Structures are given as C-alpha cells and as structure tokens.
Structure 1
Amino acid sequence: MTRDPAETGPAPHIERGLAVPMCDGAVLRADLWLPCPAPAGPLPVLICRTPYGRSADPDEQRFARTAVARGYAVLMQDVRGRHDSEGDFEPHVHEGRDGFDSIEWAAAQGWCDGRAGTFGLSYPGCAQWLAALEAPPHLLALAPAMSYARLREAIRYGGVFDADWVRWAYLSMAPERRRRHGLPGPQTEAEAWDEWQRQGEDAFLGHLPLAEVADLRHTAPFFGQWLAQPQHSPWWDFGDVAERLGVVTAAVLNLDGWLDDACGPKGAIANHLGLCAARAEEPEPRSRLILGPWGHGIPAVTGQRAPGGRDFGPQAFLDYDALVLDFMDRHVRGLNDAQDQTPRVCYFVMGENRWREADTWPPHTRELCLHLHAAAENGAGENGAGETGGLSGEPPAQAQESGFVNDPARPVREISAWTQGPADQRALLEMERGRLLAFETGPLPENLYVVGNIRAELCVSLDAPDADLCLLVQDVAPDGAAYALMDPRAGALRLSSTGGPLAPGEVRRVSISTLLTANTFLKGHRIRLVVCASWHPALARNLQSGEDEAFSSASRPARITLHHGPQHQSRLLLPIAAAGTLSTAKG
C-alpha cells in the first residue's frame, strides 16, 4: 500500500497559539500549519474552527498534514470561549461573525495569498455554514460535512428534544467551563466520563426534569436556553441556513451519511437543493452532494472504524482527505481536473452496495403505497413476536385498529442504527413486546429500489393529552436480520406539535416525511415499519400528561391507537426508482 505523502515527507512547521482578533476585541487562539522548508511565497489557507480543541482530533490533524503536503496553509482555531480562546462559549451563536473575522484575518496575513477555504465535520461543519452566511469576500469554498440546514432541527426532531445533547453538554462542554470558572466537578472529559460511568447513564439521560440534569444549569447554561425555546421560536432564526443560501458565494461540498444523525442527511440535501435553486441562473451551481452508507464521523466515511452488522463492502468507504482537497484544488486554487466532469450528486444505494450518480436529487421515482393492516388480519408474523401486522398495496376492507401502551417510566430502549457499524435490530420486537407495533410485507418477489423521501401517513388517537411517535423503517433479510435505513430519530414526532393536544376521541392524521434513504430491498427481503412512542435514551421522554419534560417529572401511561380502513387510511409511501434509470458512478 502506498503511504500518504504527508506521512513520508518533511513534518510541517506549526506556529502555536496565534492571536486572532475579533471585531469586538475578543482574541481567539489558533495554530498555523505551514510547509517545511518554508514556501517561496504565500499560500491559500484552509481553516477549521472547533470547540473540541484545535490539536485534539487525530482526523483533523491528519487532514492538516495532508493539506500542507499538497501546498496549503492550514489554520486550526479554538472557537470563542473554548480552550485558549477568550469569551463565553454559546454554541453556534458567535460562529457567523467570528468565522467571518477569522477568514478575513487569515486572508490578510503575509503567509496567505488571499484565497481561503474551510473544512470540518459536525460542529466545525455547522460553524462553516454560519460563517458562509456572512459572505466573507475571501472565502472561495467550504466542505461542511455532517452538519444541518437548520439548527432548530438538530435540537428537536419533529418537536422531540434530542436527549443526546445531555451527553454532549456533560461530557464535552461542561469540564472546560468548570476549569475556566473554578466550578467543582470533573475538570476534564476523561474525569467526566469516569463520573458518567460511575453513576450510570440513566442518572443523566433518565433524569427528570431535564432542566435539572446534573449541574448543567451552571456548567452548560446554553442547555437550559435550548430547553426553554420551542422548536418554532424566532430565537433559533440565526441558525437557519437553508433560508439564506442566496447570500452564500462560495462553492460547497455537502457530505453526509444515511445513518448519520437525522439532521445530517436532511440538511445536506436541503442545502444542496437550496444552493442549486439560488444559483439557477449561473452556468454551474458549484455545489456537490455526496451521501454514503455511514454513521457520524470521519472514521465511518473512511472505514477506519471497525465495521459491524450490515456489510456494504469496501467500496462504501471514501478517502475523506483526498475528496475534500480535490474539491479545494478546484474551487480555491482553480486547478482544472477530473472534478470538472463530476456529477452534482453521488449517493450510495445500500443493499445493492453500489454508488450511483445524478445531476439532480431525488432521481425520478414513482410512489408505492403500502397500507397498514392490523395483526389480527395479517396473522402471526415470521419475526418471532407474533404481533406483526401487514403492509399491502390494498387498504383494509373494514375499519381496523392497532394499539399499544407506552409508559414513560418504562420506555422503549433504543437499539442504535449504527454503533461500530450498521446494527442488527432484530431483537427489538421481542425485547419490547407489547410496547410497539410492527407491520411488514411478505418476501419481495423482485428487487425494489427505494431512493429518496419515505413518507408515513398515520391516523392516530390517544387516551392522553399527548404522546410521541417514533418510526423505524427496516430491511429484513431472510435470516431475520433487521437493519434500519436511517437514524431512528428521523421518524420522531410529538403529536401535540401537529395542532395542539389531542381531544378525547379525536383521530388525527399526521405525516412524517423525513425518512431519507437509498436502499435496494433484495428479492426475498421484507419491508418492515416499526411504530413506537419512545426511543430512550436517544429521545427525551414525553410525559404524556401535557406537561413539558424539561420542567416536570410527573408522567402517565398512554394508549396509542392507529386506525386503518376505508375512512382512516394509515400507509407508508415509498419512492421507487426503476433499476434502468439509475446511473452507476464511475471510478
């Protein structure tokens, strides 16, 4: 195997702790990476702004070495209020203006030739978008991997608070604030992790009210703000990227995974489509969209993370560094190469395990409607649970009901869609018997290509003021292995967010249209829809009392009923592509 030139060439020269002044007087600290020996002249710069420590992430450090070997300067910066940078850390709030100031400061330095790009994944990806919305004149390209189109949609999914922010706040953010302000408690991430393990995750993720978890009121004050602001509050407007893409002037590489946090692929698609629409009069929109079969993080993209569960083959993985740097070469340095002919959209189809390409998203599809049938009509399923309803092209001839009881004190426990690889969720039906519903087709007579937005339309009633829904769409193999096609949070919905609390006896039609995927259901496989009302600890628990779990702890069980039949049709709508219309990616 050929070694990366960044590993075999001379080590880069690193100037540590540079002072980067912001327009309000705050000084942020950064490390500057330059080639060694010193280059003959100034270089284009690639910038990464992170809250996790500018020298902490090995993937970012490897990328910096590779970029320097290719002829770039690299600036790694701690965002405001983190590590060596001054100010108070308020997640996402300052990244627009601070990003603008940092890009323009770098472009004016003697070591820079005035051309800048940005890179990074997750929070550093989001920080790129917020800076790009300020339209810094020297920013020519950005590569925001696994970010969002709207911050509000990363905090709540369908109105349901993402409880994983508790983990992020306590483990990744709080120790730094304790050190800065002399607060008691774990002072490092390692100490915080030890305390997390000592108490057990339910002491944090299972605590009610959420606003009183651990000491986050003092060590992560933003957490209380997030809980207090409803999803549609104007407070979140600053984090709405998709609505303001017309002001972005730089080229954009949108990179995400089908099994990433649900806001990720949704955001990448929305931002790419928004850029294409905003630049419709331009000869080329300068936006690429790449969607792979990955969870969150660069190791998932490159295959460094040990695979497990569903096997997509080695072709599923990409060279992240080369991909981003090729894009920067084209749009920052102006080098003409093979990317001139690269399609705008490249996506991996799971199941057939093949990359496909297109000039638009989604590709042309037809809609397949599968109606939900109650288990009594369908008979016992073949998954061992004996409570499986049917999915059929024909609606039930008579009115039917399917129901289950959800108790917030005993929520459905998550089986992640991705741990070290795509996870087999076959145990879910047996583990959570009686607390969820499942509907599935019979074995498919031929391959079925599902590409785009799966939609679910459900007719629901409750015996309580409120409840959540969480939907999982699974590909079930003949041996019983069941793999989710997307992050389960993509199927979350708080019913009260669709028109207020449900009245007694009310049957409400709700729609969930955020189930994004590209998957070939192979001949002999089944399509399964799982419906539950909790997914703990990934999603906050609805108390089902009408009270907010952020500020209350009193909960009650609720019976959730799905209605099927001529009057109330509950159904799953699949975007089906003809195999002959899908273009295979080259190379």
Structure 2
Amino acid sequence: MNQTADQYHRSEVRDRIRIDWHVPIPMDDGVVLRADVYRPDDDGRYPAVMSYGPYAKGLSFQEAYAPQWEKMVGDHPDVAAGSSNKYQNWEVVDPEKWVPEGYAVVRVDSRGTGWSPGYIDVWATREARDFYECIEWAGQEPWSNGKVGLDGISYYAINQWHVAGLQPPHLTAMVAWEGAADMYRDVTYHGGILSEFCGNWYPRQVEIVQYGLGERARKSPITGESVAGPVTLSDDELARNRADFGADIKRHPLDDQWHRDRSADWSKVKTPFLSAANWGGQGLHPRGNFDAFAKAASDQKWLEVHGDSHWSHFYTDYGRGLQKRFFDHFLKGEDNGWQQQARVILNVRHPGERFVQRSESEWPLAGTRWTSYFLDPEGERLSTEVPARESSVTYNALGEGLTFSTPPLTQQTEITGPITAKLFIAASTKDADIFLAVRVFDPRDDEVVFMGALDPNTPIALGWLRASHRRLDPHRSLPHQPFHSHDRLEPLEPGEVYELDVEVWPTCIVVPSGYRISITLRGKDYEYGGELSEFAKSFHYASRGTGPFLHNDPDDRPPDLFGGEVTLYAGGSRASHVVLPVIPPDRHAA
C-alpha cells in the first residue's frame, strides 16, 4: 500500500484494480472533497466514469439496501455474475465490471456527506459548482485521457442535468438513469400538491451518512473505516452543518427561485447523453427523462425506456451493455455503430410483466392518434363518443372518487406517450386536489399492475392537480403536455365550475382485446386493492401502488379546505375527457 502526503489519501492494488482511497479534490472556497478512484494498475490514460452524490462512497449496497439487492440479484442473476460484488455501491457502477474494460471509476462524496466535509444543501447551485470542479479535476489527472463521462441513478442522474448546464470543458458524455429534472413538478409538488417523499428520504438516506457521524456510522466492509468521515461531531454540530430539506420544501410552496436553482435549464444542456426512463417511475423520475430528450439543446441525445425496479436494469447485462456502447463511442472514440443507434429505444409493456423492444426516432411518437375518451357519469362509462346529454356527479373530496371504464376492447390497443385530461369541476370549498389514475383491468376484472420503480403494484399512469394551481403557462404548454405556472394561488369560488387541465405522466401499455381501460378520479392517492407480495410488505418504500410518493401532509391538505365535495361535469360544453396517445396497429410490438 502506498501512502501519500495527505493524511487520508492512500493507494493500493486489490483484485487487480488500482484503488486510490479518499483522494482530495479542493474546491474554490477551500473545502476539500474526497473521492475513491478505481483504475487499471498501469501507466495508461483512461476515460473517467464519475458520480457525485450523498450516499457515501464507502457504504455497501448489500448492507445498506439489503432488500433491494436481494430482489435484484434474485430476479436478475447476471447482476452479480462476473464480480466479487464487494465494491458495489447504491446507484453507481460496479468498478469490477468497468475497470477491466479500460475505464477509471470515480466516486465523489458530495459536500457534507461521506468523507467530504461541508454544509449539506442537496441539489443547490453550490453542489453543481462542486461537481463542475470535480469533472475538471478528473479530466486533468495523469491517468485521464481528458474525457469525463457521468453515470448513475436518481440523485446521480439529477445533478448531471445541473452540471451539464454549466458546460465544464472536460465533460464529454452522460448517462442519466431515471433522473428527475424539474424540482417542483417532478419531485416536491405534484401538480401543486406536496409530495411527502423528500421529507422522509432526506433523514433516511442522507442524514445517516452525514460527514461527522464518524464512529457512529456504518463501517466500510473493505477498509473497516467509517463511511461518514474520520471525525465524530455532536448532534448539534451535525444539525448546523445541514439544511433542513423537508422544512425548506414547505417554505417554498410555489415554483420560485429556490426550485429553479435545483432544476435543469434545457437551453444549456448540450452534452451528448443517454436518458434512461422507467415506465413505472410515476411520482419521481420519468418525467425528467422524457423532458430531457424532448427539450435539451444537445443534438446528440438518446432516450431509452424500460420497466422493472428503479435499480435493476442499470446493473443488468442489458443496461450495462447499453451504457458501455454509448461510452465506448463518446469516451474512447470507438466506431461501434452507436451513431446508427435508434434515438429512442422502447421496451413496450404488455400485461404479465412482458416487454418487447422497439426502436423509434422521436418522442412523442410520430403517427400517434391523440384520442379523446369522454367521461360519462351515466353507467360510469369511458367512451370516444361525447355523452348524449349534459350531466354531473358528486364525490367526497378526500375519498375514493369515481371510476369510468370502456367496454371490453374489441381489438388490441397500444397506449404509448404522455396523457392529458380536461376536467370541468366545482367544489364546495375554496380548493380541491385531483388525483387521476389510468388503469387497465383484465377479463376477470383483476387490475393490471407492474413492478414499478419503487412499488411492486404500480398502475399504468398517474397525474395530479391542485385546482388553485390551474393557471397554465401558454408559452410552455403543449397540446400533449399542459404546463402549469405554479406561481400563484387562485382559490375557487364554492359552487362555481372551473376548467382544469391535468398533466398525466408518460406511459406505455399494450392492452389486449377483452381488457378494459379505466380512468379513476380520487380525492387521495391511488391504492391497489389486490394482494401484496412479501417484498411489498417488507420494502420500506412500498405502499399500495404509489410507493413513497404520498400526499397526506396535514399542513398541505387541511380538511377544512380540501374536504367537502367535488362535482364533475360531463357532456355538452363541459365534456370532461382524457386524451390518450393511441399508437396505430401497424406499429405495435408483437
């Protein structure tokens, strides 16, 4: 083992990999961040695959996220094959599967977490600047070929959009795997309704590895050292060194500068990228991945969409192979046919967790038949025909709501793309929350659900809107994607009818003949009514279909304001409907 002048930095060879532990990376304000670098044990120059985030570079995937690891390797044995798996970390690449292929893997603990001191302020502009400096450091190291790629899931994808907007010179390519991009719409407030996820995630996954936990934190199974730094601070000192993220979110209920500072600026994202989305990621990530492909300024961008859990396909041979082909081309300059790769790779969903891959060239798909399905209270029908007469129906504003269904389909129907709904409603109070679920039922009347990103019983699609946030931004709204301003409250006049445009996140399902399509409007989160698997019962983020993305905060949804009744209007000039992206039969996956 080679010691360096720095008291913590050391270098050694393990498993035929040169590992530099706790490499210091100085920031422009004097804070020194720490990284682990895994690279070939020779004098070659290699491209870097970098991640920067708060989950502690020394924290073992298998120990810290045991249920996810066990399910992933049980479902996908190829994940664990060919590696000792001892260097596996949550949501970043496995060095044992990348270093032998000629890459240097760089894991940076973000400011205030793991082995990096400082103040934690997740996704803030300071973090983006830190990331920029880390990229530039890696691009100029003696072992580097000058090209830096970014790769990782979730947090490690979200901040890729941020740092790409700063355009660091050595940043060459990115793989953003399931990464949100609009902090307000994707992460903290769905349709203006507070999501409880971040308030729970932050203490559960970030605070537990804050720098300064020292001897109180988990130990690295490789080095035996604390994963949260070499010093141990008091609880008061730790609290002073971090933002209260959950409280900050509540202090910013509208889409203000705080949210904008933590969101992508698509006009500045020009780096070549592969954006990988999950059909079942409703409530956090997929919206950002689709928006990236549709809106980013880069002229070299690809979209891939898959199913299964949030973590699985990043590590499978399928996902890793896709990432490597992309990076081999952009970071190594290999002529491997990537430039002929279809710009859109869809794993088209069928009932029974079956996926069929199909190549496309754009998103939304060319030739989409944007088809209006009208809600008809008479018989709770969903039909392409406008109801013959005007009518209305009332439901409990915090209750189970209403479900409208098509008759059994007479032919297979594919729905792939974003969805919108136009609803005409009145409320008995000054506000109302709309929870919209797109659902499919088989001939036995069993609901079709999928293993989603963070819940084993995820429905086809979800959308949300707070009625007082109904104002649209006409410059950013599209026919298939309404864009709400979320910059002011416009309370309802009880009893008055209002027109609402609800954004429903993109989805994909091939609905067989004999199945029914349903739209459910509720006053609370969707709930799956079937039996739960053992994984669903044990996984701390699972619920009954929406995972941790719940909307029950009493401060955000006081009963006196959001209780009462909602009346839905249908037919005539108030023909409430959803617009589904129906794909022509000749485009269907087999």
Q: TM-score, normalised by structure 2?
A: 0.76
Matched with 2:485 is none
- Distance (Å, rounded) in 1 between the aligned partners of 2:559 and 2:218: 30
Matched with 2:360 is 358
- Distance (Å, rounded) in 1 between the aligned partners of 2:111 and 2:416: 40
Alignment partner of 1:515 out of 496, 505, 514: 505
Alignment partner of 1:482 out of 431, 444, 447: 447
Q: Give how far 1:392 is off.
A: 1.3
Alignment partner of 2:276 out of 255, 269, 278: 255
Does 1:98 pair with 2:105? no
Matched with 1:394 is 385
Matched with 2:463 is 491
**Superposed, which structure 2 residues align to 1:286-297 within 5 Å?**
286-297=300-311
Structure 2 unaligned segments of length 5 or more: list them.
1-13, 62-87, 220-237, 453-457, 472-489, 527-547
Structure 1 unaligned segments of length 5 or more: list them.
1-8, 190-214, 280-284, 304-317, 379-388, 413-434
Query: Helix, strand or coil: the match of 1:46?
Result: strand
Matched with 2:550 is 539
> Cα distance 1:40–1:217, how it changes in 2: closer, same or farther (>3 A)?
closer
Q: Give how far 1:126 is off.
A: 1.0
Does 1:559 pair with 2:565? yes
**Superposed, which structure 2 residues align to 1:115-514 within 5 Å?**
115-153=147-185, 154-177=187-210, 180=213, 221-241=244-264, 244-275=265-296, 278-279=297-298, 285-297=299-311, 299=312, 319-351=318-350, 353-363=355-365, 364-374=367-377, 377-378=378-379, 389-407=380-398, 435-483=400-448, 490-499=462-471, 500-514=490-504
- Distance (Å, rounded) in 2 between the aligned partners of 1:401 and 1:216: 52
Q: Give how far 1:510 is off.
A: 0.6
Q: Give how far 1:300 is off.
A: 5.2
- Distance (Å, rounded) in 2 between the aligned partners of 1:440 and 1:125: 37
Amino acid at match of 2:408: P
> Cα distance 1:565–1:223, how it changes in 2: closer, same or farther (>3 A)?
same
Listed one character per residue, the Cα deviations across residues 466-495 of structure 1 (whole Å, up to 9, x for unaligned) are: 121111101111122213588678411111
Listed one character per residue, the Cα deviations across residues 453-473 of structure 1 (whole Å, up to 9, x for unaligned) are: 121111111111112111110
Query: Helix, strand or coil: the match of 2:448?
Result: strand
> Cα distance 1:61–1:126, how it changes in 2: closer, same or farther (>3 A)?
closer
- Distance (Å, rounded) in 2 between the aligned partners of 1:143 and 1:113: 19
**Contact in 2 for aligned 1:491/1:512 (Cα 8 Å):** yes
Q: Give how far 1:62 is off.
A: 5.4
Q: Give how far 1:222 is off.
A: 2.2
- Distance (Å, rounded) in 2 between the aligned partners of 1:494 and 1:513: 11
Q: Give how far 1:579 is off.
A: 2.3
Query: Helix, strand or coil: the match of 1:474?
Result: strand
Query: Helix, strand or coil: the match of 1:142?
Result: strand
Q: Give how far 1:43 is off.
A: 1.3
Query: Helix, strand or coil: the match of 1:482?
Result: coil
Q: Give how far 1:554 is off.
A: 6.6
Listed one character per residue, the Cα deviations across residues 34-82 of structure 1 (whole Å, up to 9, x for unaligned) are: 12xx223221111111200113242556522211010011111100010
Listed one character per residue, the Cα deviations across residues 262-302 of structure 1 (whole Å, up to 9, x for unaligned) are: 44221111111223xx35xxxxx2211001123422x2555
- Distance (Å, rounded) in 2 between the aligned partners of 1:68 and 1:442: 55
Q: Give how far 1:156 is off.
A: 1.1
- Distance (Å, rounded) in 2 between the aligned partners of 1:81 and 1:402: 53
Alignment partner of 2:115 out of 67, 84, 88: 84
Aligned length: 479
- Distance (Å, rounded) in 1 between the aligned partners of 2:562 and 2:501: 25
Query: Helix, strand or coil: the match of 1:55?
Result: coil
Matched with 1:386 is none
Listed one character per residue, the Cα deviations across residues 431-459 of structure 1 (whole Å, up to 9, x for unaligned) are: xxxx2211100100001111211211111
**Contact in 2 for aligned 1:50/1:77 (Cα 8 Å):** yes
> Cα distance 1:181–1:271, how it changes in 2: closer, same or farther (>3 A)?
same
Amino acid at match of 2:355: N
Alignment partner of 1:577 out of 561, 574, 583: 583
- Distance (Å, rounded) in 2 between the aligned partners of 1:90 and 1:287: 30
Amino acid at match of 1:358: E
Query: Helix, strand or coil: the match of 2:247?
Result: helix
- Distance (Å, rounded) in 2 between the aligned partners of 1:571 and 1:248: 35
**Contact in 2 for aligned 1:63/1:321 (Cα 8 Å):** no
Amino acid at match of 1:164: F
> Cα distance 1:137–1:62, how it changes in 2: closer, same or farther (>3 A)?
closer
Matched with 1:33 is 38
- Distance (Å, rounded) in 2 between the aligned partners of 1:254 and 1:579: 27
Q: Give how far 1:583 is off.
A: 7.7
**Contact in 2 for aligned 1:459/1:509 (Cα 8 Å):** yes
Q: Give how far 1:353 is off.
A: 3.0
Amino acid at match of 1:52: Y
Amino acid at match of 1:360: E
Matched with 2:556 is 549
Amino acid at match of 1:65: E
**Contact in 2 for aligned 1:473/1:484 (Cα 8 Å):** no
- Distance (Å, rounded) in 1 between the aligned partners of 2:197 and 2:522: 19
Amino acid at match of 1:491: G
Does 1:45 pair with 2:48? yes
> Cα distance 1:366–1:553, how it changes in 2: closer, same or farther (>3 A)?
closer
- Distance (Å, rounded) in 2 between the aligned partners of 1:68 and 1:221: 38
Could you tell which deviates more after superposition, 265-274 or 555-564? Answer: 555-564
> Cα distance 1:231–1:320, how it changes in 2: closer, same or farther (>3 A)?
farther
Amino acid at match of 1:43: Y
**Contact in 2 for aligned 1:470/1:534 (Cα 8 Å):** yes
Query: Helix, strand or coil: the match of 1:131?
Result: helix
Listed one character per residue, the Cα deviations across residues 12-47 of structure 1 (whole Å, up to 9, x for unaligned) are: 121111111111111111101012xx2232211111
Q: TM-score, normalised by structure 1?
A: 0.76
> Cα distance 1:369–1:542, how it changes in 2: closer, same or farther (>3 A)?
farther
Matched with 1:306 is none
Matched with 1:73 is 104
**Contact in 2 for aligned 1:96/1:133 (Cα 8 Å):** no
Listed one character per residue, the Cα deviations across residues 377-410 of structure 1 (whole Å, up to 9, x for unaligned) are: 21xxxxxxxxxx1101222222222221134xxx
- Distance (Å, rounded) in 1 between the aligned partners of 2:184 and 2:403: 30
- Distance (Å, rounded) in 2 between the aligned partners of 1:82 and 1:177: 4
Matched with 1:201 is none
Listed one character per residue, the Cα deviations across residues 209-249 of structure 1 (whole Å, up to 9, x for unaligned) are: xxxxxx999975122111111332122222231xx334334
Q: Give how far 1:555 is off.
A: 6.3
**Contact in 2 for aligned 1:55/1:61 (Cα 8 Å):** no
Amino acid at match of 2:158: C
- Distance (Å, rounded) in 1 between the aligned partners of 2:495 and 2:241: 44
> Cα distance 1:467–1:246, how it changes in 2: closer, same or farther (>3 A)?
closer
Query: Helix, strand or coil: the match of 1:444?
Result: coil
Q: Give how far 1:10 is off.
A: 4.6
Identity across the alignment (%): 26
**Contact in 2 for aligned 1:140/1:251 (Cα 8 Å):** yes
Amino acid at match of 1:321: R
Amino acid at match of 1:132: A
- Distance (Å, rounded) in 1 between the aligned partners of 2:53 and 2:242: 19
- Distance (Å, rounded) in 2 between the aligned partners of 1:100 and 1:178: 21
- Distance (Å, rounded) in 1 between the aligned partners of 2:101 and 2:337: 17
Query: Helix, strand or coil: the match of 2:58?
Result: coil
